[in-house]
Every structure is written in C-alpha cells, then in structure tokens.
Amino acid sequence: DVPTDDVPTDDVPTLSHDQAQRLSDRLHRTFRSGVTRPIRWRQAQLDALARLLRDNAAELTRAVHADLGKPAAETKLMEIGLVLDEIRFVRARVRRWSARHPKPMPLLMQPAVGWTLAEPKGVALIISPWNYPLMLTFEPLADAIAAGCCACLKPSELSPRTSALIASLVPRYLDPDAVAVVQGGATETGMLLDLPFDHLFYTGGGRVGRIVMAAAAKRLTPVTLELGGKSPVFVDGTANLEVAARRIAWGRFINAGQTCVAPDYVLATPDVIGPLTERIVVAVRRMFGDDPKQSASFGRIVSERHVRRLAALLPAGDDGPHVACGGEVDVAARYVAPTVLTGVSPDDPVMQEEIFGPILPVLEVADAREAVAFVTARDRPLAAYVFSRDRRTRTLFERETSSGALGFGLTLGHLTSSRLPFGGVGGSGMGAYHGKAGFLEFSHVKTVVGKPSLPDTLSLAYPPYDRLKRTL
C-alpha cells in the first residue's frame, strides 16, 4: 500500500514570526536556567528519547513507510536501531566526557593547574532531510542532549507523515521547554534561520547548505553541514567479486538509493568490469526478485519531482550508456527500478550530479592510479569504497584521496559505529557527529587555568625585562 501521489503540504501547520520568536525565547530561557546541565537531566532525557522510539516503533515505521515506501526492516535496522545504539553509547559516557580533563602547565607558569571542560553551546537548530527522517533527526538530538543543549528540530516537509508524528511524540516524551519541533519547509526554516541559535546542525543537499552557512555568517554561529556528493567505489581483479557485487548492490539500492553514503558510481578495471556488472545484476535479482516493483524489500522515491529528475539521468535513446538491468520508471507510483548502467562516460548526465536514487553507473578505469586521479579531480565525496585485496592499492586510496570516510571491502558500514566520527569534507560538508564527535560538536571545550597568588613566580615575566633577559 505504497502511496502513489505527492502529499499536499498545505495541511502542515505554518509558523508565524511571533510564534518562532516565542519558541526561540522559551528555549533560550530554559538553557539559561541551567536545567539542561546536570548529567542526571541529560540521561533522563536520553532515556525518554529511547522510550519514544521503543514505544512507538510500529507507528514510526508505518509513517516512514507511508512517506517513502521504506521496508519496515530497513527503518528498524538503519534508523530506530542505530539511534538506540547511539543513545546507549553516549548515555554511558556523558559523565566522563563532561568532567574536567586536567592538562599540565609549562614550567614557566608553575605552580599552576590547567584543565578543559566541555560546556554546552546552548540552543541548537537541527534541520534534517527526508531520506532517513528518524535517524537524521534523533541522532543529532541525542548528541545535543548529551552535550546539555536545548534543541529546535526542523524535520523535512518531504516526509510529512513522519515529521507530523515526530512533532506529536516529542512533547509527550521530552521536556517541551528544552526540545521543540517545527514543521514546514523553506519558509519556516528561513524564519528559524533569522533567529539567534548557538549552533546550526544541517543535513541535506549543498544548495540549502549554502543558505544555512550564509545565515550562520550573519551571527557568527558555528555550523555543522552534513551534505552529500558522488561517493565512488573502486574494484580491481584482486577483489572477491561475488561479495563486492552484493555489498555494492546493498549500499546502492537500500532505501531505493536515497542514502547519502550510498555508492554513487563504480570504477572497475578492464579485467573485472564485465564479470562484476553481471554479478551486481544477479545480486539485484536475488535481493528484489524479477520484478522489484512487487518486492516488499524495495522502497519508493520521495516525490514525483524526484522521480522525474532520476528519469532524466537514464539513457534516452540507443546512444550513451547501456542498461544492464532495470531502467523502468513509473512516475505516479514513484517507482524507479534498481538500474545498472554500463558504457558510461564521465560526460553523461548521470555523472554530473549526485544520483540519490537506484541507478548505478559502472565505468572502466585502467588501474588504481587512474581511479585515484578520477576521484581527486572531483568534489571530495562523503564516502569512498575500495574492493581490493592488494594492500598497496588500499594504501594508495588512504593516502591520496580525501573523503568523509573510506571503506575497504564494505559500503555504508562506517555509519553504524558510535566510536567513529561521521561527517564530510569539502563539498560533502564540515564537522562530524556520532558518539564523542557529536558530543563535542554541540559543546564548547573551555580552557580553564589557575595559579595561586603566592609564590608570585610570574614576577619574572613582568617588566622591566632586565632579569628575564639574564635568564633567557
């Protein structure tokens, strides 16, 4: 029962300037009152967030399915499950991270003490997209709460059912004076961006990322940008092609390709491009059957507009790329078949922008060096993946390419660990979160020093400098 029409957005409540201002005032008042600082409060809110997810898992899963046709298993595994893991991880460590960390002072300053202390930045604005609407809203929220911040959430208008459910559940579980939800699109986000926040945390495309950063510049607000990009995969003849094909197909076609760290295109050496493509096609068939449209494991595209954008990336006539599998599009059903393209040239439309849908171009490169040159000639991607058993090839990618993350032998896997910072670089974003990186992103690490009045050893540094000269 996948919805077939675009959802009208007029039923989404809009915000007035007065309401936005009052909401901002309320969150700042709460932060200044100090209630969010005690570790006990943070842990209690994290527990409440975990309860929100557990108690309402079925309803949340249904809402995400209604918005995206996303299979329930994917929502449970990749969204609810990962946020619960993150909550557990930060909850167990927040006391240690928030404690004073002593640092030795130089001899010249002795006797003296120094330490660092992570203090909450204040009130954060968290703007999230529609593709993983729970994970990309609640995972930054967990980090913000752990840091002791208040937060205003702005989920995406393109996943309206999930956003409405988030807006109704959050005040029932979390302190409504500390965490608020605003629904709506560009207008409402623009109004929020005019207000003073202490941190802006944005996940989405680079176009809006620039709008967010321009707003941040007006007030010198620190900003995290979790953006996208074209994440490459390199495969050579030393790889286990069977496994590589499955892991590439899984990473590309999960959530119908609408995953920020999905493999965007494959660079394969001449000896493997044929057999690898065949195996990817077989893997697609095993995962989604002969008719993926009937498969309960294959999702839908978020809107008809996005389906049309993807359709324009497919080869139009006999010229250009060859369709190894897929290629079917049904705009009304918001369906794009899992598609593998071969014979792709770097000038083809599919190579000009992040695909963000179930289309996988496979290109030929002579060797790892050519692949590295291909990757480094373009924007730095959010992830890069290498399937090669050759250690020198892996080291070459590690040393000579730059990406948010690098995966050897697997796709997507790095985002599942709270021990690993998650973020982009260059065109794929700035800043990172998950685990301690997320705690620090919403914190200011303050340096504190202290020195007793006596003995006044600093007298050596006071003018006149005659005595200092003698000791230098």
Cβ at position 350, least distance to ligand NAD in Å: 15
The phi, psi pair for 47, rounded to 5°, reads -60, -40
How far is 183 from 276, CA to CA, in rounded Å? 44
Cβ at position 429, least distance to ligand NAD in Å: 6
Q: Residue 3 or residue 205: which is nearer to ligand NAD going by CB?
A: 205
Residues in 403-442 that interact with ligand NAD by CB under 6 A = 424, 429
Exactly one of 94, 136, 239, 341 binds ligand NAD (CB under 6 A); that residue is 136
Query: Interface with ligand NAD includes 158 (CB under 6 A)?
Result: yes
Q: Residue 228 or residue 315: which is nearer to ligand NAD going by CB?
A: 228
Q: Residue 46 or residue 135: which is nearer to ligand NAD going by CB?
A: 135
How far is 209 from 230, CA to CA, in rounded Å? 16
Q: Residue 239 or residue 261: which is nearer to ligand NAD going by CB?
A: 261
Active site residue 328: no
429, 383 Cβ separation under 8 angstroms: no
Query: Interface with ligand NAD includes 260 (CB under 6 A)?
Result: yes
Task: With contacts defined by CB under 6 A, name the span among 40-48, 100-108, 127-135, 241-249 that binds ligand NAD.
Answer: 127-135
Q: Residue 58 or residue 217: which is nearer to ligand NAD going by CB?
A: 217
- 3-state DSSP of 232-247: EEEECCCCCHHHHHHH
Query: Exposed, middle or buried, 270 (CB in 10 Å: 0-12/13-18/19+)?
Result: exposed
Chain centre distance of CA 378: 20
Q: Residue 225 or residue 363: which is nearer to ligand NAD going by CB?
A: 225
Cβ at position 168, least distance to ligand NAD in Å: 18
How far is 194 from 152, CA to CA, in rounded Å? 14
Q: Angle CA(366)–CA(370)–CA(375) in degrees, nearest 5?
A: 135
Cβ at position 185, least distance to ligand NAD in Å: 5
249, 280 Cβ separation under 8 angstroms: yes
Q: Residue 225 or residue 268: which is nearer to ligand NAD going by CB?
A: 225
Angular region, 296: left φ>0, alpha ψ -120 to 50, beta rest? alpha
Q: Which of 58, 46, 204 is nearest to 129 (CA)?
A: 204
Place of tokens 């995966």: 407
Angular region, 395: left φ>0, alpha ψ -120 to 50, beta rest? alpha
Exactly one of 189, 221, 388, 418 binds ligand NAD (CB under 6 A); that residue is 189
Active site residue 260: yes
Task: Determine the longest span between alpha carbons in the chain, in angstroms.
Answer: 88
Coil, strand or helix at 212? helix
How far is 90 from 88, CA to CA, in rounded Å? 6
Exactly one of 24, 43, 75, 156 binds ligand NAD (CB under 6 A); that residue is 156
Q: Which residue is nearest to ligand NAD (CB)?
A: 228
Exactly one of 138, 173, 253, 356 binds ligand NAD (CB under 6 A); that residue is 356
How far is 421 from 416, CA to CA, in rounded Å? 10
Query: Interface with ligand NAD includes 127 (CB under 6 A)?
Result: yes
Chain centre distance of CA 4: 28
Exactly one of 67, 74, 86, 354 binds ligand NAD (CB under 6 A); that residue is 354
Exactly one of 3, 81, 114, 185 binds ligand NAD (CB under 6 A); that residue is 185
Q: Residue 82 or residue 272: which is nearer to ligand NAD going by CB?
A: 82
Exactly one of 57, 90, 179, 227 binds ligand NAD (CB under 6 A); that residue is 227
Neighbours of 277 (CB within 10 A): 22
Q: Which of 227, 239, 229, 296 is nearest to 262 (CA)?
A: 229
Structure tokens at 256: 């119908």
Cβ at position 325, least distance to ligand NAD in Å: 24
Catalytic residue among 79, 260, 325, 441: 260
Torsion of CA 263, 266, 267, 269, to 10 degrees: 130
Draw the binding track, 191-220, toward ligand NAD (x: CB under 6 A; -: no contact).
------------xxx--x--x---------
Catalytic residue among 188, 226, 354, 441: 226
Binding residues (CB under 6 A) for ligand NAD: these are 127-131, 136, 154, 156-158, 185-186, 189-190, 203-205, 208, 211, 226-228, 260, 354, 356, 382, 424, 429
Residues with catalytic annotation?
A: 226, 260
